[in-house]
Amino acid sequence: MISFRSDYSQGAHPKVLEALLATNAEHTDGYGIDRHCERAADLVRDLIGVPDAHVHMTVGGTPCNVTFIAACLRPYESVIAARTGHAYFHETGAVEATGHRIVTVDGEDGKLTPALIDRAMEEYQDEHTPSPRLVYISQPTELGTVYSKAEMTALSEKCRKLGLILYVDGARLGAALTCRENDLPIRDLARLCDAFYIGGTKNGALFGEALVILRDELDDHFRWMIKRQCGLLAKGRLIGVQFEALLEGGENSLYYKIAARENVTAEILRSGLAGLGVKFYGNSPTNQVFPILPAPVVRELEKEFFFYEWAPERDGMIPVRLVAGWGTTAEEAEAFVSAVGQLI
């Protein structure tokens, strides 16, 4: 059984594991105050070229999103997000659990635009409506698409004009940074948004995401917020150790290499299937591929491959999701293409 189920279906990249082993016997203080977290934060600051950025090692994507949102917003404020956005669609109302509405807009290809933000703002003007304060997007989006530098710049300018915080969920940031279409390096991203995170879980770590806060006032008492939101790991250094292993070397780091390889493997799937005449759901250039396949083909493939059906069957066709993780091999991708070739 070959798995394209997700990029978090295996453990950690071997070099990440090695780092955990090498530091295992050390005694350090708990809760993320230790030299490994310090060093990992320095690597992040070097990578993005912002020497005074605030960096926090967080346990996972949902706690990272929710803690940052809860920390920034006053009680009557709300979040603007695409209806397909992860924080809206796949986090069981964890944002609302902190008392804040997510105002949804219907973005094309999973993306927000300045026009969509304007429209959301129009509806929320007086004391009878919650006041939008933060724009949540992800790079890449939930559909694997990537904001261009022009698109991100436009969003950034709109947000700054309206006094909105621009927050970028980077669960799969590596896949965006290293895909062929990308023209938005991490330093530009850091310049254009107010906070973002560098996702570890889906890029070779056991777990952990490095949250980067780019405005001092948004960082106030942030460790209190992490603890209150249940996200302060006792052995916090584990996240630091992993990001040290991932980020050493900047754009030549393991982090970039893992992501680039995931994209290359995904490209084997994408171009191979396209060569067979397969159509795709959306337009992802990253490590997620969404072919639309005939239902009987899907049923047959499920005997040998493990993947998600992404949307319900329509007209006999099913969109499925294939994800390339750090351990997915070119051979596995080729095997899938070949299997489809035999079935179509």
Q: In terms of CB distance, is 55 or 238 closer to a copy of itself?
A: 238
112 within 8 A of 158, measured Cβ to Cβ:
no
Q: In terms of CB distance, is 65 or 139 closer to a copy of itself?
A: 65
Q: Is 265 in the site for a copy of itself (CB under 8 A)?
A: no
Q: Is the dihedral of CA 176, 182, 164, 247 positive or negative?
A: positive
Which alpha helices (DSSP H) does 1-110 contain, by range?
A: 14-22, 35-48, 61-72, 86-89
**Nearest approach, Cβ of residue 5 and a copy of itself (Å):** 7
Q: In terms of CB distance, is 105 or 276 closer to a copy of itself?
A: 105
Interface mask toward a copy of itself for 53-92; x: CB under 8 A? ------xxxxx--xx--xx--xxx-x----------xxxx
Near a copy of itself by CB under 8 A: residue from 23, 156, 242, 253: 23
**Nearest approach, Cβ of residue 90 and a copy of itself (Å):** 5
Helix (H, G, I), strand (E, B), or coil: what is residue 77? strand
Q: How far apart are CA 251 and CA 258, in angstroms?
A: 11
Choose among 276, 265, 281: nearest CA to 323.
Answer: 265
Interface mask toward a copy of itself for 147-166; x: CB under 8 A? --------------------
Q: Is 303 in the site for a copy of itself (CB under 8 A)?
A: no
**Nearest approach, Cβ of residue 248 and a copy of itself (Å):** 19
Q: Is 231 in the site for a copy of itself (CB under 8 A)?
A: yes
Residues numbered 90-149 forming contacts with a copy of itself, rule: CB under 8 A: 90-94, 96-102, 104, 127-131
Both structure tokens of 256: 């970039």
Question: Burial of 295 by CB count in 10 Å (0-12 exposed, 13-18 middle, 19+ buried)?
Answer: middle
Q: How many residues does the chain have?
A: 344
- Identify whether 132 is preceded by a cis peptide bond (ω within 30 of 0): no
Q: How far apart are CA 93 and CA 83, in angstroms?
A: 13
Q: Is 3 in the site for a copy of itself (CB under 8 A)?
A: yes
174 within 8 A of 197, measured Cβ to Cβ:
no
Amino acid type, 159: C
Residues numbered 24-53 forming contacts with a copy of itself, rule: CB under 8 A: 24-31
Q: In terms of CB distance, is 78 or 286 closer to a copy of itself?
A: 78
Q: Is 276 in the site for a copy of itself (CB under 8 A)?
A: no
189 within 8 A of 232, measured Cβ to Cβ:
no
171 within 8 A of 61, measured Cβ to Cβ:
yes
Match 């809206």 to its residue by tokens: 88
**Nearest approach, Cβ of residue 260 and a copy of itself (Å):** 21
Near a copy of itself by CB under 8 A: residue from 112, 233, 298, 340: 233
From 14-22, 139-147, 245-253, 261-269, span contacting a copy of itself (CB under 8 A): 14-22
Helix (H, G, I), strand (E, B), or coil: what is residue 32? coil
Count of residues binding a copy of itself (CB under 8 A)?
76
Question: How many CA within 13 A on the CB side of residue 246?
Answer: 31
Interface mask toward a copy of itself for 165-204; x: CB under 8 A? ------------------------------------xx--
From 13-21, 37-45, 242-250, 334-342, span contacting a copy of itself (CB under 8 A): 13-21
Near a copy of itself by CB under 8 A: residue from 161, 227, 299, 314: 227
Which alpha helices (DSSP H) does 123-253 contain, by range?
A: 149-162, 173-177, 186-192, 222-228, 237-247
